Amino acid sequence: MSTTGRLAGWLNPRSRIEETIAATLLVVRRYDSLAVATAVVIGYLVAFLWAVGDLAVRPDVAANLIVIDDPLSRMFDRTGPASFEAVAMVDTGVVRILISPVNAAIGLLLAGLVGVNLGLTYLAVVQPAACGIGAGSGLLASFPALLSGTVCCGPVVLIALGIQARGLMLTMFVWLLPVGIGLLLVSQVYVAGKIDVAGAST
Amino acid sequence: MRDSPTTNGCSRRSVLGSATAVGLTALAGCLGTPGILDGVTDDENAVAEGPPTVDRSFPQEYTIEELNDANLSDGPGQDGIPSIDDPQFAPSDEPPANLEGGDPVFGVELNGEAKAYPQYTLVWHEIVNDVVGGESVAVTYCPLTGTAQGFYRGESELGVSGRLINSNLVMFDRGTETWWPQILALGIRGPHEGEYLEEFQVVWTTWDRWREQYPETAVLTEDTGHIRNYGDDPYGEYNPRRGYYENDNTLFAPLATDDRFPMKAVVIGARNADGAMAVPKDTLRERTVVEGTMSETPYVTVYDEALDTGYVYRNPDGKSVEADEGTVVVDGDSYESNALPLEREIGFDAMWFAWYGYYPSTVVHE
């Protein structure tokens, strides 16, 4: 594709969306990229749930299951800017899982976006549209994910790092999740444009 | 059984307030006939009431406007950290499995009834709305300032506002939604602005020590109505002390700072019309009796080794107070450390940075 053609493609939203959808579908159609994306989704989801406090190693607690009263209405109660009440707890004798459906949904959304981004990055490296793509795009994809991942446990992260919070910083925490999701979507569109979908499909 | 501080009577209730009830009750109050409006029952009027307030005179180092300007959101909104409103208790010989003997508990004894509230549970909830010895009370705990305080709540309940001032919990009452910074016990926004809550003594001790002194005590269980990872403290650990509770970092800048002691050094703080005073707990452990003055009035703080706590007494007549083999001798007669024939003040453990931040004029007795 010529430089003029590529520029025209970038400026055509419809073309960009179709290109992104095609590249995203390619990630799930190819075994190698699907394996990359799946591993990232699982890894990110586990890390996210641990960071928000919904997953912990608790070998000291016997296996048990607790469900609170009226879970359907209470699952939407906020415990932070982007964290929500757990409605059940599973102790396996090794790990403790707090089941917060909304936290899990947010985690799955983020993990899915990060997985697709890194799956696309993998394809862009093995099947570049033009001049290839480096590891930088992978970092580009992972940064917003890390950013948004801190939102659910912001003040606790500050305590762990020994950072003193200011009013502006606390306001910023509220925006981390939507900003992170937005950056992941932009990253997805950007990386998708680096892939030769037709070549990779054949 | 140990003597309890004098308390005022309050009755129990536990229903959430609503803005509608507040508005209707306010209007009814203006008309001079409570409950005059159709559909407003006595119960609904009761819901709109705030906690009882008392005439107190504390040192006010900041204006109410300055305190409001200093409030910050710590992330969760109002009730995002949920108080325990239907606490469940176990007898002392069947404590929660996660509670170890050396773990901190907040002990309350009112009208002959003793209860222990484990720190590891309150770190997730900060407030327990309870009834102890027939009194409707709120036992409150702020992890960031290391302060456990008790308040009479009357017909209302206290909740966690999600705001902090000087790193300290700002409570709200569900009847009037007035904001109450915990350490100050002062209403800073809402119908009770400028008024003080009535307090009672809460003892910061360990489970083994409390159980030894109060064998019939009940202990708060993990059946709080909420799912939390009890046993895992998000800020650190007290047994042994580590993390936020041990290091010199604060999450927010204090209102005022002083480097005489480490930021998280524990002091026993007391304040009244004479001023504010602090006694470093390490000094008290070492010396057992610590004397000093506030506004030229003598005060004495005595150590209770059994509970590892201290009691602050006003001693205007300058009576002789000395430690003697586990008891305290006042003018030649022996007394238990918590029952001296002097006027006892409410005193509570606090991290030095938090106490000084709120009371920079504090005197230190060493």
Rg of chain B over Cα atoms, rounded to whole angstroms, equals 20
Q: Which residues of B touch A168 (CB under 8 A)?
A: none
DSSP string for B200-222 = E--EEEEHHHHHHH-TT-EEE-S
CA nearest B104: which of B187, B207, B34, B17?
B207
- Say how many CB pairs under 8 Å bridge A and B: 72
Q: Which residues of B touch A80 (CB under 8 A)?
A: 75-76, 80
Domain presence at residue A185: yes
Interface predicted TM-score (ipTM) over 0.85: no
Residues A50-97 have pLDDT tens digits of: 888 899 999 999 999 999 999 999 999 988 878 899 999 999 999 999
Mean pLDDT, range A103-113, rounded to an integer: 91
Nearest-angstrom CA–CA distance, B342 and B317: 9
Of A150 and B332, the structure prediction assigns the larger pLDDT to: B332
CB spacing of A80 vs B75 below 8 angstroms: yes
Closest-CA distance, A147 to chain B, in angstroms, reads 16
Domain presence at residue A32: yes
CB spacing of A78 vs B77 below 8 angstroms: yes
Domain presence at residue A175: yes
Residue B297: phi and psi, rounded to 5, are -95, 130
pLDDT computed for residue B320 by the predictor: 95
Residues ≥6 apart with Cβ < 8 Å to B146: B245, B264, B266, B349, B350, B351, B354
> Looking at the 3D structure of chain A, how many domains does it have?
1
CB atoms within 10 A of CB A164: 13
pLDDT computed for residue B9 by the predictor: 31
Q: What's the DSSP call for residue B226?
A: S
Of A43 and A147, the structure prediction assigns the larger pLDDT to: A43
Q: Which residues of A touch B76 (CB under 8 A)?
A: 78-80
Domain presence at residue A125: yes
pLDDT computed for residue B47 by the predictor: 40
Exposed, middle or buried, A76 (CB in 10 Å: 0-12/13-18/19+)? Answer: exposed
Nearest-angstrom CA–CA distance, A57 and A50: 9
Of B134 and A118, the structure prediction assigns the larger pLDDT to: B134
**Among B73, B229, B252, whose Cβ lies nearest the Cβ of A56?**
B229
Ramachandran region, residue B146 (left: φ > 0; alpha: ψ -120 to 50; beta: rest): left
CB spacing of A170 vs B247 below 8 angstroms: no
CA nearest A90: which of A36, A126, A120, A54?
A54
Of B217 and A10, the structure prediction assigns the larger pLDDT to: B217
Instruction: Name the amino acid, one letter, at B281.
Output: K
Mean pLDDT, range A22-45, rounded to an integer: 91
Domain presence at residue A60: no
Between vectors from CA B5 to CA B117 and to CA B1, what angle results, nearest 5°? Answer: 70
Check if the beta carbon of residue A142 is closer than 8 Å to that of residue A151. no
pLDDT computed for residue A171 by the predictor: 66
Instruction: Name the amino acid, one letter, at A140.
Output: L
- Categorize the per-residue pLDDT at A175 as very low, low, confident or very high, splitting at 50, 70 and 90: confident
DSSP string for A95-159 = EEEEE-HHHHHHHHHHHHHHHHHHHHHHHHHHSBSSS---THHHHHHHHHHHHHHTGGGHHHHHH
Q: What is the pLDDT along chain B (366 residues), one digit of tens a residue?
A: 333 333 333 333 332 233 333 232 222 222 222 332 333 333 444 346 899 999 988 999 999 999 999 998 766 789 999 999 999 999 999 999 999 999 999 999 999 999 999 999 999 999 999 999 999 999 999 999 999 999 999 999 999 999 999 999 999 999 999 999 999 999 999 999 999 999 999 999 999 999 999 999 999 999 999 999 999 998 999 999 999 999 998 888 999 999 999 999 999 999 999 999 999 999 999 999 999 999 999 999 999 999 999 999 999 999 999 998 888 999 999 999 999 999 999 999 999 999 999 999 999 999
Q: Which residues of A touch B250 (CB under 8 A)?
A: 164
Nearest-angstrom CA–CA distance, B323 and B289: 6
Residues A120-142 have pLDDT tens digits of: 888 877 776 655 455 555 556 55
